[in-house]
Amino acid sequence: MRGMALVQAHCARREGRLKEHGQILLAHGGGGRMSRSLIEAEIAPRFGKGPLKGFPDAASLPDPDGPLVFTTDSFVVQPLEFPGGDIGKLAVHGTVNDICVCGGKPLWLSVGLILEEGLNISLLRRILDSLAAAADECGVTVVTGDTKVVARGQCDGLYINTSGIGRALPGFSLGPEMIRPGDAVLASGPLGDHGMAVLCAREAVLSGTGPMSDTGPVHRLVAAAADMAGAVRFMRDPTRGGVAAVVNEAVHGTPCGVALDEQNIPVSPATRSAAELLGLDILHVASEGRILLFCAPEACDPILTAWKAIPEGRNACRMGTVTADAGSVLLNTLAGGRRLVDMPQGELLPRIC
Amino acid sequence: MKYVDAFRDPAASRAVVSELASLAGKLRESGIRPAIMEVCGTHTMAIARNGIRDVLPPEVSLISGPGCPVCVTEPGYIDAAILAATRATVFTFGDMLNVPGSEDSLATARAAGADVHPCYSPSAALDFARANPARETVFLAIGFETTIAPVAALAAAAENGLPNFSMLTALKLVPPALAALVSDPAVHIDAFLCPAHVSAIIGSDAYAPFAGPGGRPCVIAGFEPLDILYGIRCILAQLADGQAFVENEYARVVKPEGNVKAQNLISRYMEPYDAAWRGIGVIPASGLRLRKQYGAMDAESRFGIRVEPGTPPTGCRCGDVLKGILNPPGCPLFDGRCTPENPVGPCMVSSEGACAAWHSYRRIAPAGKDA
């Protein structure tokens, strides 16, 4: 009994330490009383309505009546909070946007949390608040989830996995194979803000005056383009690898190429300064709230007009044209020359999403 | 950024390009097909990224020089850095990670558990050493004069009170490399497009020995597209007039005497030695190392490591590329065995390497041009 009492006293001290210091302990992931208290204190108030109510082992969802879109993504960004966003918000936008650019309306989300022992509870609360607010804004419900705690050093603070289900919107028929020479290539806003914001935060470059992440939902942009759905060929959010990766992948193996105009590539002043300073090609840097859209030439102006009418599309522009030059992605430079736009290689920006 | 925009103005570019065409026409009449070496890796990348080759008259060729610090670093240095990473936390510029040593790269060593951190600023290493006094911290100090100045500042900051901080140096100087190139009979260069930031430290006067009668036009240019185009225009104008002098197109930054304060700081901590350049060989007094009295900050003496030449990969022609004898596609490994994903030679790894620039940004040229 004496031994048991010692263990209990130790555990009580640990629980006391949690209240006192507000840290995640391994016991929070053990499935016992502390797990329960973490879920009740932090998860239930934010997500415990709808299908998550009562915390069943699996969510029961209504029949969405039509084809579904399903995706998953994991988020390991460092730092967890960065100018313009945090890992919670990003975990919603990343998955929601993948559904949107496939022509889906996002409905439901799962959230898997992997917490590192020692994680500050108030930081966790801020991130969960941000995640919940982002889900609300996108009109998605968190319907199922999971929380694990790993020992100190086995993850870097907090990792999040989200999976999402959406309903396919009628009218869209999207795919790289739909792209035709003469099509317009549009960007919904300035590019590369997320990647540069995270990198500047990591490297303590331009603190306070540097770029702000563009992490945000694109569902309203997709809805705004839906009137021209039949003329939209392909959409993608230019995340890791940036515009260069998306455009190269889009035309790879097709009879088409793309010519981008350096003059028309939208870049915010702070992001441009940071990219200049660090010597990065903005076409390789990630955005987390933008769309690249390929459409028939006649749809270009109506889509740009519709985009410019909503805040997240106000700086939208046409930045290139599809050519008949198979697989070749070129940039018409300001100096009047042309150069290849290659896929980025290797480790450009460590852990930006 | 408005300041930068002025140096990217398309209308101004077109005006300079038309001047280039008429100057090239004059040169053609005299039978001159100018070969211009851009010495600095940042120029190499800026030329490729901005599509500069595309707007040049066809008889003007640009040759990439040895001014990429990663490219001229011996494989043995990587071997020594890996050894250091088994005993200390190592900070390095990201470009170094994938450079092949004799057997491994820092990236493969890191995957195997070595403590290697890429950083953008050398001060990250200093901050880490301050925050972790019990941990040996080594900064991989490679670079030319532009980097040597901040490395000397690091030494000044660490000299008192940071006993756990040291540097593994491979610091190189541009003028001795130019001297080696002009005395090599295999190298044919009509003019030098001289580096921007290196020149800010060493000053435009440093190129005087390479200009003058019997010498070559030496034009210092900034890294913006208009800087480069205008620098080439100055070179063509000198060649057309039969002149060869030092011309400073980048006068908004570069002074004749350079940055004397930085020069003094450098000479306080560093001394010249005969450095080995990857693919080129030993060039007299072409490197700088920490002076003996700062041996405690020198990772080689601190850990008993010696930087040996190492074993360069067979078949790799990086040395000839660095001397401007060979364009990257002329190397039998280029884009076959050697790609940015699986680099064999350093010129394919560095973001300033001629092979990487050629691979990533080359224009899909009509047959017969640029290749």
Q: What is the pLDDT of residues B59-107, one digit of tens each?
A: 999 999 998 888 899 899 999 999 999 999 999 988 888 888 888 899 8
Angle at A228 between CA A223 and CA A232, to 5 degrees: 95
Q: Is A93 a member of any domain? A: yes
Compare CB distances from B51 to A278, A335, A346 and report the shortest one's residue.
A335
Domain count along chain A: 2
Compare CB distances from B360 to A332, A334, A340 and report the shortest one's residue.
A340
Task: Tell how far CA A87 is from the center of its chain.
Answer: 9
CA atoms within 13 A on the CB side of B103: 4
Q: Is B255 on the interface with A (CB under 8 A)?
A: no
Q: Are residues A208 and A140 in the same domain?
A: no
Q: Taking CB atoms and an 8 Å limit, are B1 and A334 in contact across chains?
A: no
* CA gap A287, B131 in Å, rounded: 33
Closest approach of chain B CAs to the CA of A307, in angstroms? Answer: 27
Pairing of strands B246-248, B218-220: parallel
Domain that holds residue A104: 23-51+64-168
Q: Are residues A195 and A245 in the same domain?
A: yes
Query: Which one of A280, A339, A342, A343 makes the best mutation probe of the B interface by having the most chain B beta carbons within 10 Å?
Result: A339
Helix (H, G, I), strand (E, B) or coil at B226: helix
Who's near B89: CB < 8 A, 6+ residues apart?
B115, B117, B128, B132, B135, B136, B137, B138
Taking each helix axis as running N to C, give the angle between helix A87-101 and helix A121-138, from 0 to 180 degrees, rounded to the nearest 10: 30
Residue where one domain finishes, among candidates A142, A168, A194: A168
CATH number, domain at A265?
3.90.650.10
Which tokens sit at B242?
Answer: 């039969």
- pTM for this entry: 0.85
* CA gap B203, B248 in Å, rounded: 10
Q: Are residues A281 and A184 in the same domain?
A: yes
pLDDT of residue B369: 39
Q: Which domains can be identified in chain B, with CATH numbers?
A: 75-173+258-303 (3.40.50.11740)
B8 contact residues in A (CB cutoff 8 A): 334-335
CATH number, domain at A104?
3.30.1330.10
Q: Are residues A123 and A266 in the same domain?
A: no
Q: Is A12 a member of any domain? A: no
- At residue B365, does pLDDT exceed 80? no
CA nearest to A244 within chain B: B360
Q: Are residues A318 and A180 in the same domain?
A: yes
Largest CA distance in chain B: 69
- At residue B322, does pLDDT exceed 90? no
Q: Is A56 a member of any domain? A: no
Q: Is A350 a member of any domain? A: no
Residue where one domain finishes, among candidates A168, A194, A217: A168
pLDDT tens per residue across span B139-165: 999 999 999 999 999 999 998 889 999
Tell me which amino acid residue B48 is: A
Average pLDDT over residues B182-188: 90
Q: Is A101 a member of any domain? A: yes
Q: Are residues A295 and A248 in the same domain?
A: yes
Q: Are residues A138 and A211 in the same domain?
A: no
Q: Is A337 on the interface with B (CB under 8 A)?
A: yes
Q: Are residues A70 and A129 in the same domain?
A: yes
- At residue A14, does pLDDT exceed 50? no
pLDDT of residue A353: 60
Q: Are residues A150 and A213 in the same domain?
A: no
Q: Is A38 a member of any domain? A: yes
Q: Are residues A152 and A81 in the same domain?
A: yes
Residue where one domain finishes, among candidates A168, A190, A222: A168
Q: Is A211 a member of any domain? A: yes
Q: Are residues A123 and A221 in the same domain?
A: no
Which of residues 252 through 281 in chain A touch B, CB cutoff 8 A? Answer: 263, 269, 272-273, 276, 278-279, 281
Q: Are residues A200 and A73 in the same domain?
A: no
Using alpha carbons, select from A34, A45, A75 the residue that is nearest to residue A157. Answer: A75
Q: Is A57 a member of any domain? A: no
Average pLDDT over residues B170-199: 94
